[in-house]
Structure 1
């Protein structure tokens, strides 16, 4: 079964090569004006983070120039979020946190057994099942809350505290403030919303070299690599081939939700004949597809906006992206691939809005604007890199 990834959270930092900037400030409690010690301060989805001192003050230094989403969080208080633009001049902030207003969520009553089943499903779809995922561990699983809707076959998860993840494959400790997570089995869509801080794990130089090689391998051919290449007019040089894919629903295949509903129904009833019929219908391609085999130039699909460092992406139908320096190793049955083309890693972008905005760092900054299928959708939290990540000088061998 192939899952798609819905990009539903906003990533804001911009990549830059200038000297690092500095953010200083003080965090207080709004109702008492008292200083807050040990509040978490970080730039979302990056490796920049710290905590306040006893007097509520903090400093973030060496920050790459650009636009970031600064997050301040503390248990019992409302999170603070604001956009900051790092340049030559230091930024000084005074941030006051409000007492948290209790949000009424659906009351979830679960047994230890149901929690365990939900947790196992969550780990599989959140961390993934790759070799990297096998070296990832959630350190505080009990902070997670789950709700499983059987009728919709949807697992939801959330946490009011940081979900702490140790990624020994890439050398990061990841602190994930998970606001929402949903795994929709009927539509094969996974989405999440949250704020992330990456921290380097200590290690010997030999281990760090191994981590850097793995990070490079993940980066090259990734969506982050693609969007950086797109804005720098380096698609061809960096190994990307971009074309337009046209799709029409396959008239012989019933609606996907109906297929999944009947498979579940007849599997439970033990009706083998009906079950096999609906499984055969499931195996049919969802679409009749045509690939327009004219490689696109960067200027065909993207342009700069009136805001420095922000770019727009727009195209008709679907954007078909191949990376010709790596072959796809998995059987992606839902991804159209002509038999007379090399089986390169391939991803498909769907726009839910007329255009999507992305930044210099290679991050989509318009939440909920894109749907990703194919190779990129296989990457889960175990393959996440900070948005300020810059690959080393390692050159990957073509496969």
Structure 2
């Protein structure tokens, strides 16, 4: 099967899965009890805040507690074998109690048969899920046997699911990541990649001071110019200070429109951050723009990215020398508005299509929400 270069693939980033939202303000702990649909307590349930280092397990009485949580917006997730994953979007600034009810699973992932070409599909999944950066080369999925693959020949679509947390050892950034994969869909013919899930991070222990220093440097490089760094910059209104220049793309664009020779034409006048954000409250803002955005990040240009020969480049009719030198990305809105919090996380899932430099980095280059805050 022909594998398209990643430069031809816009990424539908799906980070926050929202079932219900409520807001509280004050201190910093989340506690509660986990029960099943019959009201019986469930010990041993894994409870965590997606994208962070905060994780715990319910005790013998089904009680859990996450302490020292920084104020902000999170996705509270509960996972237990045999039950549907529970997710709850929450903005927190004080102690709060959340009582969780888990519903039995309605189907078993074991019914999905792994095809004869599972290793081929695994390598494809790894490429698009972890990314193709140097950091991705230093990542290991420790339990790839948890993955299930289904390839639909009629639609040329690869679907991947998992019956447990994926455990990923990232020896480039110094993290062990547990990723609860909810969905993964790759259609190279339509040039579409979309995946969704929740992650929790654990710091690895460096074997030497040199390794610790390398991890620190790699984390900062991965963070600078990432989609989350950009959204935090938009949220704070510090685009220019943080090294960003953002332009409206004048011609009509849709996901994949910069592929296969198609070109775009950005406006030469940069946008201001306040024109992109509408304040909801102290913690959350709307990010919206009717047209796609051309984003230039002028500070970092990792050598590995430069050596791809523009592997994630974008094409335009306007001369390049009209714009600052740097990393070029395209963001396309798939819904009228997305909600962004101060961490740079947003909803609804799959609401942004990302092309260019920001699409280069995937799970292998992801830092926890605590990073940079």
Native 8 Å contact 2:109 2:162 kept in 1: no
**Secondary structure in 1 matching 2:320:** coil
Aligned residue in 2 for 1:47: 53
Question: What TM-score do you get using the length of structure 2 for normalisation?
Answer: 0.86
Aligned residue in 1 for 2:185: 182
Per-residue deviation at 1:106? 7.6
Could you say what the CA RMSD is over the residues aligned between the two structures, in angstroms?
Answer: 2.6
Per-residue deviation at 1:349? 0.8
Residue of structure 2 aligned with 1:315, choices 282, 289, 295: 289
Native 8 Å contact 1:242 1:320 kept in 2: yes
Aligned residue in 1 for 2:338: 356
Aligned residue in 2 for 1:4: 10
Provide the rounded CA distance (Å) in 1 between the counterparts of 2:325 and 2:157.
Answer: 33
Provide the rounded CA distance (Å) in 2 between the counterparts of 1:236 and 1:11.
Answer: 31
Per-residue deviation at 1:115? 1.0
Provide the rounded CA distance (Å) in 1 between the counterparts of 2:103 and 2:369.
Answer: 29
Aligned residue in 2 for 1:261: none
CA spacing shift, 1:360–1:164, aligned 2, 3 Å? same
Native 8 Å contact 2:56 2:64 kept in 1: yes
User: CA-to-partner distance for each residue in 1:243-284, whole Å, 9 max, x for gaps?
Assistant: 1112358xxxxxx99xxxxxxxxxxxxxxxxxxxxxxxx995
> Which runs of structure 2 are paired with 1:93-112 in the superposition (5 Å)?
93-102=98-107, 107-108=112-113, 110-111=115-116
5+ residue gaps, structure 2: 19-24
Q: 1:335 and 2:311 equivalent?
A: no
> Which runs of structure 2 are paired with 1:237-316 in the superposition (5 Å)?
237-247=241-251, 285-287=261-263, 289-305=264-280, 307-316=281-290
Provide the rounded CA distance (Å) in 1 between the counterparts of 2:84 and 2:151.
Answer: 27
Residue of structure 1 aligned with 2:326, choices 344, 358, 373: 344
Provide the rounded CA distance (Å) in 2 between the counterparts of 1:235 and 1:11.
Answer: 27
Per-residue deviation at 1:202? 2.1
Provide the rounded CA distance (Å) in 2 between the counterparts of 1:378 and 1:311.
Answer: 26
Provide the rounded CA distance (Å) in 1 between the counterparts of 2:104 and 2:78.
Answer: 13
**Secondary structure in 1 matching 2:241:** helix
**Secondary structure in 2 matching 1:235:** coil
Per-residue deviation at 1:110? 2.0
Count how many residue pairs are aligned between Structure 1 and Structure 2: 350
Native 8 Å contact 2:78 2:85 kept in 1: yes
Native 8 Å contact 2:76 2:89 kept in 1: yes
Provide the rounded CA distance (Å) in 1 between the counterparts of 2:239 and 2:26.
Answer: 27
Per-residue deviation at 1:311? 1.2
Question: What TM-score do you get using the length of structure 1 for normalisation?
Answer: 0.81
> Which runs of structure 2 are paired with 1:1-399 in the superposition (5 Å)?
1=5, 2=7, 3-10=9-16, 21-31=28-38, 33=40, 35-88=41-94, 90-102=95-107, 107-108=112-113, 110-111=115-116, 114-204=117-207, 206=209, 207-247=211-251, 285-287=261-263, 289-305=264-280, 307-327=281-301, 329=306, 330=308, 331=310, 332-336=312-316, 338-340=319-321, 341-390=323-372
Provide the rounded CA distance (Å) in 1 between the counterparts of 2:110 and 2:167.
Answer: 23
Per-residue deviation at 1:370? 1.3
**Secondary structure in 2 matching 1:191:** strand
CA spacing shift, 1:357–1:166, aligned 2, 3 Å? same
Provide the rounded CA distance (Å) in 2 between the counterparts of 1:7 and 1:283.
Answer: 18
Per-residue deviation at 1:290? 1.9
CA spacing shift, 1:75–1:107, aligned 2, 3 Å? closer
**Secondary structure in 1 matching 2:81:** coil
Structure 1 residue runs of 4 or more that deviate by more than 4 Å after TM superposition: 103-107
5+ residue gaps, structure 1: 13-17, 250-255, 258-281, 392-399
CA spacing shift, 1:318–1:231, aligned 2, 3 Å? same
**Secondary structure in 1 matching 2:251:** strand
